[in-house]
């Protein structure tokens, strides 16, 4: 039971006679009530995809379905969608109530219905007290709520949001993220949300679709992407601070393999990695390990396993943990570890680290 279907969607822009492939062969079914987030770096095709679902952009190839209906050639106003933009697009000369009423007024709703829908949305968003103010008399977060309210009053079947929080300061952005979660739980409507911010994607999405260079890299629940990234791009994009990548040589060892990074470590690979490697027999691969999976060996809670030494170059206490930037003696390449706050790691003094190999990743260098 899907609500929105993006079916073999490709978009090629004509840019001065040259074709720019913005999105290539995208296939996604979005379930009814689902919060789906498109995430990826700037220029990866997020806005293009959202605008095509909205009908503000035409597909070069492929089709868009909403509520079982092929809307590919349909006017945006007939699609049962409401869009929330980054810049809010509020009318400065209208009050909050007038702004929220506007989409209903132009569709000739009776005024008592307009009044009750606006009051209901205002209650949902806790902006009841602001209805007579003008946008200039509101904070950024309040303006964002009004923009959301204006979408909610229309009772669309799908909400489309393009980086709606990116104009807010960091603290408010985190707060609005939680509020969006809460609002979505209450309204329960299908939402397609676009952001370049992986933390926003992780915290908001029922599923997250990672795009790079116009191509879908992986789609799944946030924790699944975090634990099982399908390639090095997703591994490096999801998670903050990012996963460490270290180029290593692969050395056969009995039935398994060891990975060796000159002067840094020589580690036995877990069986699951070894099995995968046996099929391809590479000489070298990229080893991936998240900073939180590198433990201070002196920590009683550290996992058992082979250790290695490295030198902290920078130590940043974060309260809940200590963030270490370390260097590899071989080539000076930097990597990072998040260790317990009690760690007595000191700059310039080698520290013994235990990698949680069960949570490590290997990526093809090819
Ligand atoms: P995102 O929202 O992920 O930053 P966009 O969907 O805006 O990415 O853009 C995807 C690609 O398409 C980029 O390379 C961008 O430069 C290009 N693009 C977007 N809009 C147009 C346009 N109107 N004409 C030509 N190229 C465009
Ligand atoms: Mg964009």
Q: Identify whether residues 188 and 302 lie together within a single domain.
A: no
CA nearest 338: which of 305, 304, 289?
289
Share of the chain above pLDDT 90, in %: 87
Q: Which residue has the tokens 């190839």?
A: 61
Q: Which residue has the tokens 């809670």?
A: 301
Q: pLDDT of 201-212, one tens digit each?
A: 999 999 999 999
Positive or negative: CA dihedral 20, 26, 31, 36? negative
pLDDT greater than 70 at residue 59: yes
Distance CA 314, CA 64 (A): 50
Q: pLDDT higher for 89 or 74?
A: 74
Separation of CA 45 and ligand 1 centre (Å): 6
Q: Identify whether residues 305 and 332 lie together within a single domain.
A: yes
Give the pLDDT of residue 1: 79
Judged by DSSP in three states, 357 sits in helix
Q: Identify whether residues 83 and 108 lie together within a single domain.
A: yes
Give the pLDDT of residue 366: 63
User: 36 is in which domain, residue-wise?
Assistant: 2-237
Separation of CA 22 and ligand 1 centre (Å): 6
Q: Identify whether residues 251 and 154 lie together within a single domain.
A: no
Domain stops at, among 237, 264, 281: 237
CATH of the domain at 284: 2.40.50.140
- From residue 121, alpha-carbon distances to 132, 178, 211, 329, 361 in Å are 15, 17, 33, 59, 46
The domain total for the chain is 2
- From residue 230, alpha-carbon distances to 96, 210, 220 in Å are 45, 11, 11
By alpha-carbon position, which residue is closest to atom 24 of ligand 1? Answer: 13
What number is the ipTM of this complex? 0.99
Q: Identify whether residues 48 and 26 lie together within a single domain.
A: yes
Give the pLDDT of residue 74: 96
By alpha-carbon position, which residue is closest to atom 21 of ligand 1? Answer: 13
Separation of CA 348 and ligand 2 centre (Å): 43
Distance CA 347, CA 355 (A): 20
Domain stops at, among 213, 237, 261: 237
Q: pLDDT of 8-58, one tens digit each?
A: 999 999 988 899 999 999 999 999 999 999 999 999 999 999 999 999 999
Q: Identify whether residues 119 and 230 lie together within a single domain.
A: yes
Tokens of 225: 């992407």
Mean pLDDT of 312-316: 97
pLDDT greater than 80 at residue 236: yes
Domain stops at, among 206, 237, 268: 237
* 281 confidence band (pLDDT: 50, 70, 90): confident
Q: DSSP E strands: which ranges in 16-60?
A: 18-31, 35-39
Mean pLDDT of 271-300: 93
Distance CA 208, CA 133 (A): 36
Query: Cα–Cα–Cα angle for 158, 162, 166, nearest 5°?
Result: 140
Q: Identify whether residues 156 and 275 lie together within a single domain.
A: no
By alpha-carbon position, which residue is closest to atom 10 of ligand 1? Answer: 45
CA nearest 157: which of 104, 72, 84, 81?
81
* Beta-strand relationship, 284-289 and 361-364: antiparallel
Closest ligand 1 atom to 40 CA: 3
By alpha-carbon position, which residue is closest to atom 13 of ligand 1? Answer: 43
Distance CA 66, CA 6 (A): 9
Mean of all residue pLDDT scores within the chain: 94
Count CA atoms closer than 13 A to 297's CA, side-chain side: 13
By alpha-carbon position, which residue is closest to atom 16 of ligand 1? Answer: 43
Separation of CA 4 and ligand 2 centre (Å): 20
Residues 6 or more apart in contact with residue 318 via CB below 8 angstroms: 338, 341
Give the pLDDT of residue 362: 96
87: left (phi over 0), alpha (psi -120 to 50) or beta: alpha
CATH of the domain at 181: 3.40.50.300
Give the pLDDT of residue 21: 97
Give the pLDDT of residue 87: 76
> What is the DSSP code (8-state) at residue 86?
T
H helix count then E strand count, the chain: 9, 20
Helices 140-152, 170-187: inter-axial angle, 10-degree rounding: 20
Chain center to CA of 39: 4
Q: Identify whether residues 186 and 87 lie together within a single domain.
A: yes
Chain center to CA of 366: 26
Give the pLDDT of residue 65: 98
Query: Using a 6 Å cutoff on CB, does residue 13 contact ligand 1?
Result: yes
Q: Identify whether residues 285 and 206 lie together within a single domain.
A: no
Closest ligand 1 atom to 38 CA: 3
Give the pLDDT of residue 333: 83
Q: Identify whether residues 296 and 272 lie together within a single domain.
A: yes
Query: Using a 6 Å cutoff on CB, does residue 135 contact ligand 1?
Result: no
Mean pLDDT of 288-299: 97
Mean pLDDT of 331-360: 94
């Amino acid at each position: 039971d899907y609500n929105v279907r993006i079916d073999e969607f490709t978009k090629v822009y004509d840019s001065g006679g040259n074709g720019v492939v913005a999105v290539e062969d995208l296939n996604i079914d979005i379930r009814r009530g689902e919060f789906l987030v498109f995430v990826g770096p700037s220029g990866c095709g997020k806005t293009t995809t959202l605008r095509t679902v909205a009908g503000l952009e035409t597909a070069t190839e492929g089709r868009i379905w909403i509520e079982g209906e092929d809307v590919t050639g349909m006017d945006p106003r007939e699609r049962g969608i409401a869009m929330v933009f980054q810049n809010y697009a509020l009318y400065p000369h209208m009050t909050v109530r007038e702004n929220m009423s506007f989409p209903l007024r132009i569709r000739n709703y009776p005024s008592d219905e307009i009044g009750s829908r606006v009051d209901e949305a205002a209650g949902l968003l806790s902006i009841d007290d602001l209805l007579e103010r003008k946008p200039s008399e509101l904070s950024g977060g309040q303006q964002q709520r009004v923009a959301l309210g204006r979408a909610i009053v229309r009772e669309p079947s799908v909400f489309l949001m393009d980086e709606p929080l990116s104009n807010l300061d960091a603290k408010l952005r985190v707060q609005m993220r939680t509020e969006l979660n809460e609002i979505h739980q209450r309204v329960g409507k299908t939402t397609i949300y676009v952001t370049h911010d992986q933390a926003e994607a992780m915290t908001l999405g029922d599923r997250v679709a990672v795009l790079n260079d116009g191509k879908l890299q992986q789609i799944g629940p946030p924790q699944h992407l975090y634990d099982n990234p399908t390639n090095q791009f997703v591994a490096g994009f999801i998670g903050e601070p990012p996963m460490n990548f270290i180029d290593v040589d692969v050395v056969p060892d009995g039935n398994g393999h060891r990975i060796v990074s000159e002067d840094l470590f020589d580690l036995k690979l877990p069986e699951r990695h070894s099995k995968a490697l046996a099929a391809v027999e590479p000489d070298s691969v990229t080893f991936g390990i998240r900073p939180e999976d590198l433990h201070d060996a002196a920590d009683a809670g550290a996992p058992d396993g082979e250790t290695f030494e490295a030198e902290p170059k920078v130590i940043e206490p974060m309260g809940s943990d200590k963030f270490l930037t370390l260097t590899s003696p071989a080539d000076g390449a930097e990597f990072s570890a998040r260790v317990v706050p009690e760690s007595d790691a000191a700059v310039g003094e080698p520290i013994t680290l235990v990698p949680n190999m069960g949570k490590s990743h290997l990526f093809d260098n090819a």
